[in-house]
Amino acid sequence: MTQALFVVNAGSSSIKFKIYGVAAQDHEHEDLDLIMGGQVDGIGSEPRLKVKDQAGAVLVDDKFPVEQLSTLSQAQTVIADWVTPRIKGFVIIGIGHRVVHGGSVYSKPVLVDDEVMHTLESFIPLAPLHQLGNLDPIRILRERRPDLPQVACFDTAFHHGHPELSDRFALPRELYEEGVRRYGFHGLSYEYVHGKMEQIDPGVAQGRLIIAHLGSGASICCLFGGRSIETTMGFTALDGLPMGTRSGTLDPGVVLHLIEQKGMKPEEVGNMLYKQSGLLGLSGISNDVRELLASDRQEANMAIDFFCQRVAQSMASLAVTINGLDGLVFTAGIGENAPEVRRRVIKHLNWSGLFIDDMANEARLPGPQGMRIEGAHSRVPIYVIPTDEEKMIGLHTLRLLRLLKKH
């Protein structure tokens, strides 16, 4: 029977999954062949399961009563129940998971056991919006299929090995030794996109490269020689750019003011910064860029302008860190699908010699190789490259399982 991998990418209110066919163990071919993929989203509000095959044909698109799908545990059960009878002819050899935070402990993917789970649970306070949701499917699948190896792949791992200047806060040294440092996130996305750049333009990929992962969670990373040098997210996934509902970088005095002067409890402040701020807080309308761009209200336009200016400012700042720029990449939901956001961002950077070709920018993405959107006089190439975190997880999982089998 053909071997396959099951990949799970769990968020705070959704679970994405993909199943990949795998070449035989004695085959050097490392690529993965997509069999099917889908997601359950709207968990706790408007639950929906949608699955497509490798050609993009819809296999199922079902809505569920909220009481039937109000937790990630229930969603994982629905996915498993639907998938199991539909992969006849395939044998699952392992499960790969995205885990947002690996702390300073994990710099590469790891096989999950009780000790690993205990360590990962200790990082929940560092990523309260994501970590618990990442671990729930692991726990459920360990109970359901204890025979299957599960591999945790970390969003923080790609950023391990930062220069100390990029890792530090201007806080007492003992806090740094205790783990209060800049970890960085979206590493699986950056790793995948950089791998694509290696295929498209190896010279730019090994040079001074900035990748902007712009989605409901957003960050930017600068690379040199293929390594992450610095990124906008730091100790938690709350730092850096304004996001869908997250504030991004904030004067810490604001937090003190909210607690000391407004009498807010820490959990209330946390809820506001994670769930009521960002584009939603700025506009008072929505956290969805598509809705804001379609709106004719001034608040919506201001929120988009605020986001684009912060993105451009961060790009300029990161270019200082790597002493220049050889290439720029947009990726993730907004980066791939919002040409107006890309246009406004690059307009802020015209002074630096970056220009956009409006016709190329408005074109539909042709496929996984992405497209170039810079104008004729742009100093460096500007790319739009679709990310695929699930495939990166699958590749990491396959490599680790094969390595363990050799030993």
Q: What pLDDT is stored for residue 15 in this prediction?
A: 87
Q: Are residues 125 and 217 in the same domain?
A: no
Low-confidence ranges of the chain (pLDDT < 70): 1, 12, 24-30, 407
Is residue 385 one of the residues assigned to a domain? yes
Structure tokens that stand for 248 in this block = 């991004």
User: What are the pLDDT digits (tens) for 158-215?
Assistant: 999 888 999 999 999 999 988 899 999 999 999 999 999 999 999 999 999 999 999 9
Q: What pLDDT is stored for residue 250 in this prediction?
A: 96
Is residue 291 one of the residues assigned to a domain? yes
Question: In the listed set 121, 139, 154, which residue is the last one of a domain according to the structure?
Answer: 154
Q: What pLDDT is stored for residue 358 in this prediction?
A: 96
Q: What pLDDT is stored for residue 26 in this prediction?
A: 52
Q: What pLDDT is stored for residue 386 in this prediction?
A: 96
Is residue 155 annotated as part of the catalytic site, yes or no? yes
Q: Are residues 129 and 274 in the same domain?
A: no
Q: Do 307 and 248 contact (CB within 8 A), yes or no?
A: no
Q: What is the CATH number of the domain that holds 275?
A: 3.30.420.40
Q: Are residues 92 and 207 in the same domain?
A: no
Q: What pLDDT is stored for residue 293 in this prediction?
A: 97
Q: What pLDDT is stored for residue 128 in this prediction?
A: 74
Q: Are residues 290 and 348 in the same domain?
A: yes
Q: Measuring CA to CA, how many Å separate 283 from each of 128, 144, 294, 296, 300? A: 24, 44, 13, 12, 5
Q: Are residues 230 and 379 in the same domain?
A: yes
Q: For residue 196, with 0-12 CB atoms within 10 Å meaning exposed, 13-18 middle and 19 or more buried, which class applies? A: buried
User: Cα separation of 352 and 320, whole Å?
Assistant: 12
In the set 41, 136, 155, 388, the catalytic residue is: 155
User: What are the pLDDT digits (tens) for 38-83?
Assistant: 988 877 778 889 999 888 899 999 888 888 887 777 888 888 888 8
Is residue 188 one of the residues assigned to a domain? no
Q: Are residues 239 and 339 in the same domain?
A: yes
Q: What pLDDT is stored for residue 404 in this prediction?
A: 86
Is residue 406 one of the residues assigned to a domain? no
Task: State the virtual CA torsion across 229, 235, 240, 241 in degrees, nearest 10.
Answer: 110
Q: In which domain, by residue range, is 366 found?
A: 202-389
Q: What pLDDT is stored for residue 332 in this prediction?
A: 94
Q: Are residues 113 and 24 in the same domain?
A: yes
What are the start-end ranges of the E strands in 149-252?
A: 150-154, 208-214, 218-224, 227-231
Q: Are residues 241 and 315 in the same domain?
A: yes
- How many domains is the chain partitioned into structurally? 2
